[in-house]
Amino acid sequence: DEQRIEAWRPLLEQIDARMELRAAGPGAAALQELANGIEILTGTPPSLTLKAGSPPVIVLGSPQAAQRSLEELKALPLAEEAYALRIGAASENENQDGEQAAYAILRGGSERGLLYGAFALLRLIDSDPRGPRDLDLAESPRNPLRMIDQWDNMDGSVERGYSGGSIFYRDNRILLESPRIDDYARLLASVGINAISVNNVNVHREETKLITSALLPDVRRLSDTFGRYGIQLFLSVNYAAPIELGELDTADPLNTDVQHWWQRKVAEIYAAVPDFGGFVVKADSENRPGPFTYGRDHADGANLLADALAPHGGLVMWRCFVYDCHQDWRDRSTDRARAAYDHFRDLDGRFRDNVVLQIKNGPMDFQVREPVSPLFGAMPRTNQVMEFQIAQEYTGQQRDICFLVPQWKKSLDFDTLLNGAGCTVKQIAAGKVHPFTRSGVAAVSNIGNDDNWTGHHLAQANLFGFGRLAWNPELESDAIAEEWSALTFGADTPVARFVAKLLLESWPVYESYTAPLGVGWMVQPHYHYAVDVDGYEYSKWGTYHFADRDGLGVDRTLATGTGYTGQYADENRDRYDSLEECPDELLLFFHHVPYTHVLKSGKTVIQHIYDSRFEGADAVDRWIARWRELEADVDPERFAHILHRLEGQSENAKQWRDAVNTYFYRKSGIPDERERTVYA
């Protein structure tokens, strides 16, 4: 490690920067991050010169050696968020006296691009075991919007937060004095996030006041903190704000008083927070207010806010998580999976240009395995972003390890076939399929005020991974896991190698001891951690597995089920409809089958249930054994913390294994072929 850093040293002693001389912009942040990062890596702060100039560039190492490349790079056309990085490390850069004349040049399409480049260079130095080498690279993000949603409440709690309390709020105040907020902006910028919404989509009484004159000055300071790192600030708003703030007695989107109210309100917000990004809205969803109250639809609702925001360049991120959460389990015709598409699809073309529909990756709710939401891409005239959940609500709550990058990639790679082959989610999100004016990806954050940010130390990999994937969805899961592990545990170390492996195994392992074959849920109601096979079976939330003595699964086919499959393009519909072609991992999402149904793997469903529950629990125990072997290679604090979490995961996995196996043994009466312990 030290040798590698030594090899970099000639490039890291001197920094010459040219940019506009603004103290609070991303360019200044780029310089500061580089200087700071270099000092941490080498122990010596670089010498620094700063002059006015455009486009923004930073030269590290020998300015003479860099000269010719610098002129070339300056002339390169770059998109606003893009950066170019050129490194000259080879020995031909030695000057006559035989001194190293290595250099690195960073050029941004803007200061923001420069900041992304600075972080990319630091990542390279710290994670690439090869050391400095000649490199010529230009990158720009695939997704225009790369957004993080906080579900933080002003009382200091975090909805579905598994890492302590909020870093943003306590006792209904904004924590402006907290250095965590500044560090969070740095973390997010380091992986290219460019937008953040800072309060829960469930907007309660106190948060409704974030858009009032009492709190807007504090919101401005938050906006400045994130703005310095190129991140635009959004707020979640309460659809009924005009009523709840005591100013009107209706929130009807077609009422002119309501329209004027929002116009004035938005003008007031922009006067106080000039760089404001816009609103995130959860309306008519899980008992939140919305346009349905007034007999209006979601286009009316979203356009009301969009019209108010448009003159200021603001966006409305309108969530599509709209379904009946007061369902009757006896009613077999209602299917929650259908809801988003049924509510929104026919509104295509009615939304303003500055509305972006925010659609959860699956049609249900962030389960360990779901098909891709059929609404994504199905509205060619409406901007869309896909919403992921970094917080592990249903995937182990940051107590169990579940590296979600492979799951997200599965969604992003899905071919919707909506305009013929190649209409993948990632292409649609990038705005390459439909003429979207704004699009991309958003995700629910997993951080809190725990010292390690994410509860489980290894859950940091999910936040990092989301940012990397949002920047470039073509990155491979193993590359992201390896990069994070190297940055966190040292490049090319046994710990980093094992952690990367563990991360990559963790989603399949988590799936293998929890709800089988795409059926979902089976969790303790409300908390959503730990097994309760029938926890939601007779509930109003619309989340059933329909297990009986003969079989299980949800029939969502066109012919005999809820017809959900009909929401996909024909070829995808046919594949899901067909018992033979439906992928095993989603079988029970789409079909109700007997326990004796034979999977493509050659196993019966019941035997698959038994086998994978045992395999999952065993895998966790193998991780523990390997982790113990690494004790001498990792600091005691992280060693103990990760061991402790793994032991908890092992217990959870066994609890799931036994509860699920026993449940299905009792239902089916079919014993495990391999005669392992299944409790009666």
DSSP 8-state class, residue 85: E
Work out whether 268 is an interface residue with ligand GCW (CB under 6 A). no
- Is 69 in contact with 88 (CB distance < 8 Å)? yes
Cα dist from 549 to 595, 596, 666, whole Å = 9, 11, 8
Q: Is residue 393 annotated as a catalytic residue, yes or no?
A: yes
> Rounded to an integer, what distance in angstroms lies between the CA atom of residue 240 and that of residue 203?
10
Instruction: Lay out the site mask for ligand GCW across 315-334 (x = CB under 6 A, - = otherwise).
Output: ------x-------------
CB of 241 to ligand GCW, least distance (A): 18
Q: Which residue has the tokens 């920094």?
A: 15
CB of 436 to ligand GCW, least distance (A): 22
Residue nearest to ligand GCW (CB): 365
User: What minimum distance in Å lies between the beta carbon of 330 and ligand GCW?
Assistant: 23
| Contact between 305 and 345 (Cβ < 8 Å) | no
Omega of the bond leading into 179 within 30 degrees of 0 (cis):
no
Q: Which is nearer to ligand GCW, 168 or 663 (CB)?
A: 168
Element containing residue 384 per DSSP (H, E): strand 383-389
Report the SS3 class of residue 350: coil
End-to-end CA distance of the chain: give it in Å, rounded: 55
Number of residues that bind ligand GCW (CB under 6 A): 11
CA distances to 18, 20, 118, 191 from 57, rounded to whole Å, are: 5, 10, 10, 20
> 466: helix, coil or strand?
helix
Range 378-397, binding ligand GCW (CB under 6 A): 393
Binding mask 348-367 for ligand GCW (x = CB under 6 A): -----------------xx-
201: contact with ligand GCW by CB under 6 A: yes
Nearer to ligand GCW, 370 or 393 (CB): 393
Nearest distance from residue 430's CB to ligand GCW, in Å?
Answer: 24
Within 517-536, the residues that bind ligand GCW by CB under 6 A are none
Query: Binding to ligand GCW by residue 159, rule CB under 6 A?
Result: yes
From the centroid of its chain, how far is CA 435? Answer: 24
CA angle 5, 7, 12 (to 5 degrees): 70
The smaller minimum CB distance to ligand GCW, of residues 159 and 534, is found at: 159
The torsion angles phi and psi of 518, rounded to 5 degrees, stand at 85, 5
Dig out the tokens for 121 from the structure. Answer: 């260079």
Q: Kindly state the smallest distance separating residue 342's Cβ from ligand GCW, in Å.
A: 18
**For 118-168, what is the HEC assignment?**
HHHHHHHHHHCCCCCCCEEEEECCCCCEEEEECCECCCCCECCCCCCCCCC
**16: three-class secondary structure by DSSP:** strand
Q: How far is the CB of 525 from ligand GCW (least distance, A)?
A: 11
Is residue 537 annotated as part of the catalytic site, yes or no? Answer: no
Task: Enter the tokens of residue 320.
Answer: 């599509």
Can you tell me the distance from the alpha carbon of 494 to that of 533, in angstroms, rounded to the nearest whole number? 39
Residue by residue, DSSP assigns 587-624 as: HHHH--EETTPBPTTS-BHHHHHHHHHHHHHHHHHHHH
Which residue among 183, 247, 286, 571 is the active-site one? 286
What is the SS3 assignment for 244-258?
HCCCCCCCCCCCHHH
Q: Which is nearer to ligand GCW, 157 or 250 (CB)?
A: 157
Query: What is the pattern of x (binds ligand GCW, CB under 6 A) and - over residues 9-38?
Result: ------------------------------
Least spacing, CB of residue 285 vs ligand GCW, in Å: 6
Q: How far is the CB of 541 from ligand GCW (least distance, A)?
A: 9
Give the active site residue among 81, 284, 393, 482: 393
- List Cα–Cα distances, 10 to 6, 38, 129, in angstroms: 8, 12, 17
Query: Interface mask (CB under 6 A) for ligand GCW, residues 275-294, using x and -?
Result: -------x---x--------
Closest approach of Cβ 288 to ligand GCW, in Å?
A: 8
Q: Which of 4, 74, 160, 667 is the binder for ligand GCW (CB under 6 A)?
A: 160
Identity of the residue, 142 or 319, whose beta carbon is nearer to ligand GCW in the bound complex: 319
Q: Under the criterion CB under 6 A, does residue 202 sit at the interface with ligand GCW?
A: yes
The minimum distance between CB 201 and ligand GCW, in angstroms, equals 5
Instruction: Tell me: does residue 464 bind ligand GCW (CB under 6 A).
Output: no
Select 201 or 609, whichever has its Cβ closest to ligand GCW: 201
Distance CA 223, CA 195 (A): 10
In the complex, least distance from residue 199 CB atom to ligand GCW, rounded to whole angstroms: 11
151 binds ligand GCW (CB under 6 A): yes
637 is catalytic: no
User: With binding defined as CB under 6 A, does residue 415 bind ligand GCW?
Assistant: no
What angle do the packed helices 179-190 and 216-227 form, to 10 degrees? 40
584 is a contact residue toward ligand GCW (CB under 6 A): no
**Could you tell me which residues are beta bridge partners of residue 235?**
279
Integer CA distances (angstroms), 494 to 501, 619, 629, 633, in order: 11, 19, 10, 8
Provide the token pair at 35: 């200087």
Q: Does 204 bind ligand GCW (CB under 6 A)?
A: no
3-state secondary structure of 519: coil
Nearer to ligand GCW, 160 or 173 (CB): 160
Catalytic site residue from 126, 284, 297, 365: 365
Question: Exposed (0-12), middle (13-18) or buried (19+): which is 324, by Cβ within 10 Å?
Answer: middle
Residue 6: partners with Cβ closer than 8 Å, 6 or more residues away: none
Q: Which is nearer to ligand GCW, 484 or 589 (CB)?
A: 589
Interface with ligand GCW (CB under 6 A): 151, 159-160, 201-202, 282, 286, 321, 365-366, 393
Catalytic residues: 286, 365, 393
